[in-house]
Copies of this chain bind each other. A is one copy, B any other.
């Protein structure tokens, strides 16, 4: 089933305890589409400035499963983010952010993308996410991401969006910010009450939780030995999850559980290198091999 993703494409400057990595490919939609393309055709909608590096284009276009015809090139600068992680890499500080052309992003879903059966609305203002949803009239599955900023400054729009999508993916601190509930079982349930049919709460090194009519599923993170850079872990988690569902062509509960596991597995690879470096060396076989280890670890 074809999968359409809308989100940011960025130039990142990353600082982690493992080193500094300037001028690299970043953005939620970059990470998402790259890993999702291992599972299914991905249609990418986004915007970059004229400074978007050729190497970043090359990275995206190296994946035959990614259709970049929905990426607009606008006069101006590409979204830029510079961030530094704490010693344990569980928190990070934004040192510089320049929205550039992403600040005025008016997403246009190309005609040939409108029959997408799965849609992922990467982090963007909820009003922008809703605009996308209106352009893809009948997806079988629509899922949005969000962030603390929109919960703080655009909550009414976000609540609107949550009534229109099938599912939402957010991290634990955002789930608490949105609901006021510090327990994840509680926060997840409260978000379900806001409209979506399912909620995925990402907990970083502590894994993820899925809330739906079938109850709660918790899954741990894959224990990696070599944490280099967690940037994009959440986006690749979503990309692996949605990509798996698109590739499997099934949206039942068992498929969702596997989708969480594939999201977990690809996110673990993401953390093993700066930017998309580890992912660029990834093969479908690497993913399957680690999935088998993960399944075995959880098999009682």
Contact = CB atoms under 8 A, between A and B. Distances in A.
Interface residues of A, number: 35
A207, A224, A227: which has the most chain B beta carbons within 10 Å? A207
Contacts of A221: 218
A300 to B, nearest CB: 4
Nearest to A206: B206
A190 interface: no
A280 interface: no
Nearest to A216: B223
A217 interface: yes
Interface stretch (A26-34, A109-117, A178-186): A178-186
Interface in A218-242: 218-225, 227
Nearest to A180: B87
Nearest to A181: B88
Given A183-B88, A220-B218, A223-B216, A300 B300 contact: no
Interface of A: 87-90, 182-185, 189, 203, 205-207, 209, 216-225, 227, 257-258, 261, 291, 294-295, 297-300
29 contacts: A88-B182, A88-B183, A89-B183, A90-B182, A183-B205, A183-B227, A184-B205, A185-B224, A185-B225, A189-B225, A206-B206, A207-B207, A207-B218, A207-B220, A218-B221, A218-B222, A218-B223, A218-B297, A219-B220, A219-B298, A257-B297, A257-B299, A257-B300, A261-B300, A291-B300, A294-B300, A295-B300, A298-B299, A299-B300
